[in-house]
Structure 1
Amino acid sequence: MPELPEVHALALDLRGRLRDRAITRIHVPQFSALKTFDPPVQALEGTLVDDVSRHGKFLDIEASGLHLIVHLARAGWVRWREQLPATPPRPSTKSTVAVRVELDDADPDAGRGFDLTEAGTKKSLAVYVVRRPADVPGIASLGPDPLAEEFTLDRFRQILAAEGRKQIKGVLRHQGTIAGIGNAYSDEILHAARMSPFKPADLTEEESQVLYDALRSTLTDAVARSEGMAASELKGEKKSHLAVHGRAGQACPVCGDTVREVSFADSSLQYCPTCQTGGKPLADRRMSKLLK
């Protein structure tokens, strides 16, 4: 799932490609992806793109006072096309194209634009056309951005105090608490802080300082690495720099211990026992049931 660093880079990439360009046509072959009806999606046709930004993990394409908001969910992505196909996309269970945006071009044969695609059978990609970003419920309920200037150590400590005994992994991932961090970067932040994902959020002052520093440095470094990259390069860049997430069974790059995994119904987390849990593997109830 694209998280804050990747969505930040996607916004920068699209801003350079789209700003001051006119949207000429929008196709929505996967109509279930469109979550709003007023304004209609056709209201974007003929508008000029003013900016592209992000809110947490949401992309925001602002065009002549309207906003095309995109949440890529688990398997969504943005695919830029220097040459769009001659025929528009059609509804199909075999196609990954959910939305196609055509742009004006001085060369009538160029046909540039981009597709919003989604792999897999579980369709969660969401597209909204709104007058204000806050009209999207997911944006209206977002917590503070962890890279914003106002996200200070004191603010972070207030958040942790309010969450009490909740597991720190869940606190970092909850978008209404802190915006933009998902499963992958919460694993990476906790590994950098040398903390168990099941540790309660009521940290000491020293622990909260360590976690805050790990959070800021992990995300800042990821953003710095991804800036300037095209959308097609971002997935590989992210994967190549992960220390524990998605690396179960491999060696921890810090201590050499084997990265372990805890599985849940629809997700999993990865961690290093030596770095994070005093050498003790965490209970994996899902695997325990399979072994009985």
Structure 2
Amino acid sequence: MMRSYISILRETIDRLREIFEGLVTDATEFTTGDHYEEFGRIAAERRAVTEILRSDKLHALQSADVRYNIEYMTANELTELTEMPNPCRFEGTHYWHWTPLLDEDLLRDILGKPLPIEKTHSGPWILELGAGNGTLLKKLKEMGYNGACMVGVDISKVGVDRIKEAGFVGFTDLKPLHLGSNPDVVFLSYFVDRDSDQRGTFERVVGILRPRGTLVLEGLFPCVMTDSNGNTYGNANVTKGNDTIEDIELVVAELGRLDMHLKRVIVGERLVYSLDGAEILPSYTLVFKKN
């Protein structure tokens, strides 16, 4: 039986404090993210999804022969799917995540205050890998940051289409990426445990990041590369997937080799759902600064 989120979180915070003392400067802050405002904002959506996932409709989806390949489902889309005359089974591998771990205060602290948008490109330049539907980019734009200086990358074509529909630049991989300027901040959002080449991604990201730039790595640790059906997602050439602290240390060491310095560790929670059900998992954000 899986241990409760609270017990895992308490143990992890205590161990993080001990382990990272030797890895980071005095400026490091350990923050436990409750983010009640964010939970309140999406409470209705969360209840709607949970109700569907716990209903007989979900059983019909699971037992259906016909498969429907939809990614990043919203509650409305999930409702439509379950109410089809011939129930279809969800086949997408990119599940929708809610409750961003970084609240507005933390985002402003990382990015600085938004600048007046007097011309098309007034920074900071922001790149997000694992951007999904563009949820974080939309949030940053609402906070006053310049959407013209944001780029989202996701392996899901559905996600990238929605990023573009929201008015941002979007790509399905890094190869065609032409920013016109090196990013000031790169977000790796729930990407590291689905990556086809962790080490290569770190090297490419650090290579394009501006000097003194910031890398924000948010994800679930340990980085387990397989789901409950045995599907393998990535190539764990940095992490091992056995232990939370071990994987975090491996990521810190690899980025340290690339001249990135760990500045902050943030511990919070994230709601994830798939056909296996919905659960709240401990989530971690590591903030690095380029030397």
Same-fold call, TM > 0.5?
no
Structure with more relative contact order (C-alpha pairs < 8 Å, separation 6 or more): 2
The TM-score with structure 2 as length reference comes to: 0.28
The TM-score with structure 1 as length reference comes to: 0.28
Rg larger for: 1
